[in-house]
Structure 1
Amino acid sequence: MRYPTAISDLLGFRITAVGPGTASVEVTVDAAALHGNQQGTLHGGFLTELADAAIGTAHSTVVAAGESFTSIDIRATFLRPVWRGTLTAHARPSHSGRTITHYVCDVLREDGKAVANVTSTMMTLRGEGAAGR
């Protein structure tokens, strides 16, 4: 596992927990100063990137030496707005196969309320498919 990745370092993401196939990543946000959209709330793309970082970190714990992985899809459902505070993304597999693994990730505020639910599918690459990645 390579961490921090360049994007995680740039965005201030911090790993708070890692287990086999699971990960939690947190970040402190301020929509007015740095992370906002046109409506003045936290940008949905930022929330999706936070979840993607947690999911990628979770999947990196189950790939073997010589293997790599890639995202096939990602879908975010936004539940409530955020202006500032610390968010934590908790990723876990909902189904694990040899090549394809489906993940769910809950992004929570400090008070434990969900901000977004994100699902993603990861594909493990082997052999020539993993070369150079």
Structure 2
Amino acid sequence: MTTFSTHLPVLKYLQRQLDGTLADGDVTHMSYPTAISKLLKFRIVAIAEAMAVIELDADATVHGNQQGTVHGGLLCELADAAIGTAHSTLMHEGESFTSIDLKATFLRPVWQSRLRAHAWAAHRGRTISHYRCDIQREDGKLVASIESAVITLRGDHAKGR
């Protein structure tokens, strides 16, 4: 039996993954789920062009800092994953990207909660795009607000990235 692969754009691949219609042979030029998302148990719960929502069940006994709350670095990683997933929906074959900055504003602590990171493009440029990401606890309260600039790489700059 021969298995054929269908090469999909990132957005279509992630939409099918999310709605459970991804076929065995469906592939895209980027790696999903990412290794860090598997390790930290991030879940994509919504996806659209230049937008992603990722959830995490955060628990200070697993993800804690010395104060006993969820570590701010985990919140930055969650936001970075949501922003990266949102931006990846714009990538074509032969393109890649990387974050060039990230600014986090922490608003309240988390001990144990399902966190939802909602990232969207505030400005989409040809090369540099700006994203916002709000992270909310399951009670709807805003935990952190993150901003990041992402640069799209093309041609030789994208190889091996």
Give the shorter-chain TM-score range: over 0.9
Corresponding residue to 1:9 among 6, 30, 38: 38
Corresponding residue to 1:25 among 44, 47, 54: 54
Moved over 4 A (4+): none
Q: Give how far 1:127 is off.
A: 0.8
Instruction: Give the aligned partner of residue 148 of structure 2.
Output: 120
Matched positions, count: 132
Higher strand residue share = 1
Q: Give how far 1:131 is off.
A: 1.1
Structure scoring higher RCO (CA < 8 A, sep ≥ 6) equals 1
Structure with the greater alpha carbon radius of gyration: 2
- Looking at structure 1, the residues matched to 117 and 59 of structure 2 have their Cα atoms a distance apart, in angstroms, of 16
Q: Which runs of 5+ in 2 are unaligned?
A: 1-29
Q: Deviations over 1:52-108 (max 9, x none)?
A: 000000000001111000110001100000000100000001111000000000000
Q: Which runs of 5+ in 1 are unaligned?
A: none
Question: Scaled by the length of structure 1, what TM-score is found?
Answer: 0.97
> SS where residue 90 of structure 1 aligns?
strand
Instruction: Give the aligned partner of residue 65 of structure 2.
Output: 37
- Looking at structure 2, the residues matched to 49 and 25 of structure 1 have their Cα atoms a distance apart, in angstroms, of 11
Q: Give how far 1:2 is off.
A: 2.1
The one-letter code of the counterpart of 1:111 is: D
The one-letter code of the counterpart of 2:53 is: S
User: Percent of pairs identical after alignment?
Assistant: 64
- Looking at structure 2, the residues matched to 55 and 115 of structure 1 have their Cα atoms a distance apart, in angstroms, of 16
